[in-house]
Every structure is written in structure tokens, then in C-alpha cells.
Structure 1
Amino acid sequence: MSRLVYVDGGYVQEDEARISVFDRGFLFADGVYEVTAVVGGRMVDFDSHLSRLARSLSALDIVSPLTDRELRVVHEKLIARNNLDEGIVYLQLTRGVADREFAYPYGLTPTIVAFTQAKPLLDNPLAESGVKVVMVPDIRWRRRDIKSISLLPQAMGKEFAKRHGAYEAWMVENDVVTEGTSSSAFIVDADGVLRTQPLGHQILPGVTRRAVLRLAEEHGVSFEERPFSLDELLSAREAFLTAASAFVLPVISIDGQNIGNGTPGPITRRFRELYLKECCQENF
């Protein structure tokens, strides 16, 4: 049985879902998206995803036709109607349909689509083994804080990682690690301090990233939102990535060079444990 998906106010079978060839998301990648994890049939960190969605839409001068409450209902209905216990809900909102012109046409009704994907999130074997990462140049545009649907550089990086036997690619700009193609990048540096890029136009404000920094503060873990270089990454005690559908995953090697002793470190394990505990408490 095919999935039920949401398209502009209606719920249809996936093989019946249609959008216009004149949609600006298709023509210009003129839109934004969010991915929300689902555990036990309930959403994780959904309020934070709504806040980031509103920020991205504001940056592109797009007004959602649905309220936060209505967006929540869409997600909940998709989860219920697709019997989704564990996985994600993908939401995409574009400026809408108009003849092809570069400048924004105003007065459009935005296009909204959403669908579910079932996948295991909690019992992820990569949390025990750790993942390999390769480095790639950061070739993206200068407003990476907007969760844009324009993802070709990230797709290229992810493909490079796959071809080199790695799980993820982390991006480097001026010898500074920015973030992963679909993740936030963290290290525990040589002094034992947790570090990640500060917020700004250079990175996406990750929802799980935000939760990890809050947990660090609550549990007395020293952290700094301060850039780290490739050399600092390679000399780090630990490294890990965060993402909505991966939560917290240990990074055990960079370009074939071990991080620490090449196994998941205790601080990384602790943050995954804390996040999952909080996630499960919210959802059960």
C-alpha cells in the first residue's frame, strides 16, 4: 500500500501527488524544508523545527498559508494515517506557482507538500561502531542559515562520501570546518572542551545541535561555540555529528585518519544517551 502524502490542503496517495511544472521550487529551488524525527508515533523537537521554518520563510519573504497549529495537525495526520511509529516527516514549502521570472512574483499562494518515511532511528548500529567522514570544500552559497531546498552542493558532497566508503562529508572553508552535508559538526578538543561552529550565515542552526548545547550546559560540560580548523579536528579527543534523523553519532575517522583511538568516545556516548533519554521521555 502506498503512502498518503499531503499536497496543498489535501491528503492523496503518493502516486497521485502532483505539483505544477511552474512551481518556483522546481524552477528556482525557491523554497525551504524541515525534517522532523518521529519516535513512538510522536514528533521530536517539533517546536524548534517550527521556529526554524518561520525564520527561513522570513528570510525569503514567504508567508506560510498555514499556522503553526495547522502545520502540526498536518504532521500528526500523516503520522496517524501512515501508521508511522519511527522515522521522519518531510515538509517542503515553496513560494508557489508563477511564470518563470527571476524576481519574486508577489501574491502567490505557497505550495506545501509533506510525506513520511519509515526508518529505524533509536537502534542505530552506527552509534556503536561510529562513522567515517571525508572532507570536501564548502562550495555553498552565503546564506547557509536558511534551510533552503537548494541542496546540490550537499548532494555532491554526500555522493563523494559514499564513493569513498564514508557516511558523511564535512565541509571546509578557509581551513575551518563549517558543518556536514546534512549534519552539524562537533569535536571534543585537545583540552577536553566541546566545540562547534557559532551560529551565523555560514551554518544551518541545527535543531539537534541546539539541544546538545543545552544538554551540555545542564550537565556541566564545558563548551564553546568557536570554529575549529582541520588540524584541530584531526588532533581532537572525540568528534561527533548531530542531525534530526541521526540524533548523535560518533565520528571515528576523518579521511582515513583515526580520531582519538578510532572508537566512539565517552562524551559522545553520553550525549547520545542524554538526548535519547530526553527524546523518549517526551514521546512515551
Structure 2
Amino acid sequence: MKTDPFKEYIKASEPSKAIKGYAWSTAIGLQAVDGLKTSKYLIDKAIDNIEGKISIKEAQNLIDAYYEEKTEHSVDEERTEEADKVSARIAELLSETAFSFSPAEYISIHKKLFNGLYKYAGKIRDYNITKKEWVLDGASVTYGTASELKASLEYDFEQERNFSYKGLSMDETIHHLAIFVSRLWQIHIFGEGNTRTTAVFFIKYLRTLGFSVTNDIFAENSWYFRNSLVRANYTNIPNDVYKTTEYLEIFLKNFLLNKNYELNNIDMLIKK
């Protein structure tokens, strides 16, 4: 979003408005990772929810009804519909405190976000993928092999579950968190919607670690977040390019520690 209509709510003195403002701001901002934009109607319903005029469920029902009334859908309208519906679902998930650190929770989040939008919502992909990345000058990250996705996911969760943050400096903690989330994302167990699912899961996980995040970093820099995940998982030795979590770490320092590092996508761009 070029102008965040929820910024005033995030900074509001009323905790309930700040939490809702953060949830909606982040939810809408995350659509940028897939080049999606929400409608004005969604923004209006979000503000009504923040102001306490309607519940999050009522907002979702109104959005669903809004699109059910449309008899024709262009490709652009379908993309906006996805952005609106997924934003409302993310806002709901980020407003909830319930959470379980498990592969099942991760998969469940994907299903909740994309049910009715993707036929494979909540399903692990059974085919291999590549994706051309702007930040890699058209190259692709090597994603998880279809036959090993479940095992890879379970392994990463087990490693993180058994990891102890005790005694680590904050820089060491940030570095480890960057490694964990970048590996989780690299598996790419779903056909689409991996970054949004990973972001929602990661934010909720960070809360269980004691981090209180109610800022607009994701809202304003979600594309940077995605590109930093890409750079954390790409190596090209002939071109002297190596995977690095440095960009992801400065994003997390801004997000978790309220630092003010500049986040410029162009800094991550690789040119062959």
C-alpha cells in the first residue's frame, strides 16, 4: 500500500483498535507479495471492523456477499477478490491468540486462507516447481522436491522445536529466526500462497517467543520480505552469488526491535 489507511489505528491509544489496525494493515500489505491489490470496499469494511461497527466475521460475510453479487469476473477482478478475501482471513488469524507450533497448524493456515479460492488449499503439492524471480534476474530458487516435502517440513519443525534460545544475544536470536523462516519458506510445500502462509505462521510463532509486534513493517515491506527469503536460498558460484540471511535479518530487526534500517529491494538485485 502506498498510503496505509490504518497507520493512525496502529498508533492509537486504544489497544483493541491498535491490534485490529495492525492485523488489517499487515493482511492487506501481504497481498503485494503476489502482486495483488485490495478493493476500496475491503478497506471500508476493515475500518468498520476496527471502529467496532462490525465483527471480523461480519466483515468477511459482507465481502463474500459483495463478490457473490457480481455476475461477471475479469481476471483483474478475480485477483482483487482473492486479495480481499485472503486479507480478511489473515486479519482474523492475526487477531486470534490460538496457535500450535506444528506442521498441521502451518497447513491449516494455508487451508483457512485459500479455501474456495485454490482447489489445492491446505494440500501439499505433488509436483516440482520453479519460479522466475525478479531479484535473481529471472533465475529460480531450488524449491523442495515434491516427494520429500512432508519429511522436509517435519524435519525443520523438529529442529526448531528442539532448539534453545537461552543464552543467545539478540543478534544471534535474529540470525537463527532468519534461518528457520527461510528454510520453512524454501520447502514451498504448496502450489501457491507459500509466502503469505509463512508470514502469518511466523508472526504467530514470534508471539509465542514473547515478541510483541504491532507495527507496519510487513504492510510496507512485504515484497522486501519475500525477496530477502529468495536471497537466503540462492547460490550461484560461477557468478559469485551466495545465499545470505543478511537482508532478512535487517528486516527482522526493524520488525522485532523497532530498528530503522533502510529496506531497498534494489539492494538485493542480482545482475548476471
Q: TM-score, normalised to structure 1's length?
A: 0.31
Which has the larger share of helix? Answer: 2
Greater relative contact order structure (CA < 8 Å, 6+ sep) = 2
Which has the larger share of strand? Answer: 1
Q: TM-score, normalised to structure 2's length?
A: 0.32
